[in-house]
Structure 1
Amino acid sequence: MPFALAGSYGIWARGGPEPDHDVDFMVAEEDALRARDLLAERDLVVVQPPEDWLFKVFVDDAMVDVIHRVGGEPLDRSRFDEAEVMEVESVQMPVLHATVLMADKLGAMEEHACNLTPVIPAARAIREQVDWAEVQRRTEGNPFAEACLVLLRRLDVAAPHRPNASHPAGAAQG
């Protein structure tokens, strides 16, 4: 089933700062139950928290979030079409595109979670890989994301839209 490394570790795999918390993987919502069952069959500890958009897997002392819904919207398999297989800690795995990672990071910002401390260094580290116009499009309507994008532009981190952006969705919109 399609999946991809996401979140802060996805950004780290693309050159961002090393995170100090859980690892995030994404699967399509239609595959979530099967993924959960397969992981449990392999004697991993699988826990369903109160949130209905993910489940957690514990491997030794590590916690892995397996996310199947973002911003209230179910993920479908097409989300992983642009994931790039990369070597992460000597393991080949699909990693979400930098544009998607930044859009998810900014899109998750809300009044109870709007800490810019991890966002600015992450954005700075992978800024050349990101189609910032696409991030703006994907986060439109989220005032926290919009404010962060203004700050990132003022800091010369988020560049204006480039017609030759490396993200296929952004390039197609020119």
Structure 2
Amino acid sequence: MVDDREALHDGLRLTAAALAEAGIPHALVGGYAAWARGAPEPSHDADFAIREVDVDRAREVLSAAGLEITEPTENWLFKAYHGGELVDVLYRMVGEPIDDDLLARTDEIEVLAVRMPVLSATEIMTSKLRVVGEHYCDFSRLLPVARAMREQVDWVEVRRRVDDNPYARAFLFLLDELGVVDRAQMHDDAAPVGTRAGSSPASGDPSSHIE
């Protein structure tokens, strides 16, 4: 009998292979993208990103590959199941449409014996930090990811893109305090984390809660 983890792995492989065979630009994102880059393996679904223009075609090819397609109420993804395990196929992240520019910020990495485009560590970290806020702020899950990918991340770029979110700034400050990432790696101007004026919380768009 196929266990849940094996079914999820098979679903991830099938999704990557079907999208690639159909010539649909895509990238592994979220927790499994971080895992491909050395982070702990997540205990939940896998996530792929595609452009919205490719959604109908992606549904067709994944259904033909044997995955069960369902349409959630959210308007930023569809769901594909294999053996009861979930692969989310997103066409928006952090409330923004996925485009060619984002899909270009990837590396070809062998994941579960299949080579596929995997989102860059900088993009993974940025997307995770842009959504932390009052209602979603689990630093205990972010820390192992940051530790594992710290040498692959452009921390100056991450800080620049999350600097309007006080929760994200607090996490970057914590990384410095714990010695995970030195402040100098995060600040091209050597300014302390969290001292920027005019900062405001992130919007908390649910479309970015990919783990």
Give the C-alpha shift of residue 56 in structure 1: 1.0
Alpha-carbon distance change, 137 to 31 in structure 1, aligned in 2, over 3 angstroms: farther
Identity of aligned residues (%): 46
Q: Distance in 1 between matches of 2:180 and 2:60?
A: 41
Give the C-alpha shift of residue 162 in structure 1: 7.5
Larger gyration radius, structure 1 or structure 2: 2
1:42 aligned residue: 65
SS of the equivalent of 2:116 reads: strand
2:185 aligned residue: 161
Q: Is the 8 A contact 2:28 2:49 kept in 1?
A: yes
Amino acid at match of 2:107: E
Amino acid at match of 1:16: A
Give the alignment's TM-score, normalised by structure 2.
Answer: 0.72
Q: Is the 8 A contact 1:53 1:67 kept in 2?
A: yes
Give the C-alpha shift of residue 141 in structure 1: 1.7
Q: Is the 8 A contact 2:52 2:97 kept in 1?
A: yes
Structure 1 position 120 matched with structure 2 position 143: yes
Choose the corresponding residue for 2:169, options 135, 142, 146: 146
Amino acid at match of 2:101: S
Q: Deviations over 1:53-109 (max 9, x none)?
A: 111110113211111111211110221113111111111111111111111111122
Alpha-carbon distance change, 50 to 140 in structure 1, aligned in 2, over 3 angstroms: farther
Alpha-carbon distance change, 31 to 139 in structure 1, aligned in 2, over 3 angstroms: farther
Structure 1 position 33 matched with structure 2 position 33: no
- Give the CA RMSD over aligned residues: 1.7
Choose the corresponding residue for 1:86, options 109, 122, 127: 109
Q: Is the 8 A contact 2:66 2:82 kept in 1?
A: no
Structure 1 position 17 matched with structure 2 position 26: no
Q: Distance in 1 between matches of 2:76 and 2:164?
A: 21
SS of the equivalent of 1:117 reads: helix
2:99 aligned residue: 76
Return 5+ residue gaps in structure 2 as ranges: 1-23, 188-211
Q: Deviations over 1:17-63 (max 9, x none)?
A: 11111101111222223212322233421112122111111011321
Amino acid at match of 1:158: V
2:158 aligned residue: 135
Return 5+ residue gaps in structure 1 as ranges: 164-174
Give the alignment's TM-score, normalised by structure 1.
Answer: 0.86
